[in-house]
Structure 1
């Protein structure tokens, strides 16, 4: 039986929406125009310690090498913006821990991949046996250029995919298939002259439009980097302990983004707007328990403490924070280096606070004397 590929493509988009995807697009596998840019990015060392980026070479731009026989990619989008986010407020409270929006709920990898697998099985019921494989940030593949080619949005100046109606608060996934479905058209770029994402980056990691130097990016520093965080970036990290959303928070297209329908992406209370000190006191068993099913778990307890110690070093002085840093000493030499940095900063702020108290008392006494009031007034 001959398949009506146009009808099948229409059905796939509806089935995808039934499975919880907000947008489903289809594209071919030709990403050759991205190969030179990918090579320049790798040659510049912008991938940092993410060796797998270079190890797979140009396979990232050649989906058919990843799954032989692939002729089309079904690209999907799933929104993750949780209700009552309030994350800008967290950034303004330096004693609180800021965690990237995507990581406050369940790990998206399995959820999106399972939905893609279900989509493949649904197609199989109509098309018969065919070759397919789902991917969710789990293989060497250029998912953003594929999403752009499939019409899900355009590449913003922060390198993320932007949608006019959804901003950038969404996950991407791909289903590689060997069916010659009709393809969708890309949408026009709509960033215009706006450079808010570039100018707002705390560490100036966006080195050109659409080009991010991961070595400067707070998401890379707090998640991918295994060793010490370079001292030059620590103060700029503020209270961000896992990821960073600044380039998305300032994007005009994110002002009206839709709230996710997936309860799994809602904020977990044990992670949402918690005090730095509360999270810093977690032992490894508590960390593993409270991050079960979360993407945060993969960084491990040691890096969790490393990130938190930097944030505490950026917080206003509090004796309980200083004591907590000192008590953590001796666990690991890499961690100790960050603890020492933060201890010095807490002590400096303590001493500055004492000077301020003395200065304020002196100024008050001067005002009292000038007014001719009793000294105990």
Structure 2
């Protein structure tokens, strides 16, 4: 039995009883999971959908995010009349383990010291995130999921759900994702981590009593944000247009609109995200490799699965390109799984799954209705 829910505005969180075992062998006591729900669970419990967020997302997929006051990050997909509709579905979304929106992470208080964990928080993995979600669903009385849906790192969690809990998942929608992190993905993450750790305010991760490493985190976000876009999209939106001037300054202010845009992205990010969480979550995605426990054979990870899969990629996504999606589909075909695959045309790069993409909504809606 889990502890009673604690409500903080729209925030809900639970505390898992006892000791939570991590994939690394480390343990955590009193793990908290931040979550949000929309809709109601059917009497037969068959309409639950778990939504998994990407690297810097949270549990507030719809409505208003109480931290930022902005709309939920996936209102184009979740809401009345949307493919994932609270009138039809019981929708659950969590903040991942290691995050900074209600779930236990490096900013949480270490009961042994009374201070934030900082870098003493144990390293976590995608599987650890999934296991924490499973414990939350046990608490909510959800035995079987109609679907697990996620994009980017959320897609990794969705795929891992089908591997870790094959009897609990009827369908998976994996969007703009991969079954492992490539060397290039890891390289970009390492640039971001080094930017954070090079900031003098990082102080080995023990910065919570003073100013945070805002400059380093902003640079990390700027570098990462470039990977979420496409050259076509950046050129169409900014080209080489100057920012509030008619000629270059021959200096290092933001002469170009694209420079100003990236600086804004970096500065706004530091207001809502914890730098140490960024380190831990990027490391979790770097470690992700579904095939590794199966001698590198991805099909073996899905052996015997009864889950239906929809895999979606975008033409301009070079972070998780269509080749990675096709690798997943080939493995599912080899495992005799039921899988649908579509590559959608979009100029918006990896971020296409977060933007207004009617074709994606039609695919997801049709796939989910086919299983109802």
TM-score normalised by length of structure 2:
0.28
Bigger relative contact order, structure 1 or 2 (CA pairs below 8 A, ≥6 apart): 1
TM-score normalised by length of structure 1:
0.28
The structure whose residues are more often helix, as a share, is 1
The structure whose residues are more often strand, as a share, is 2
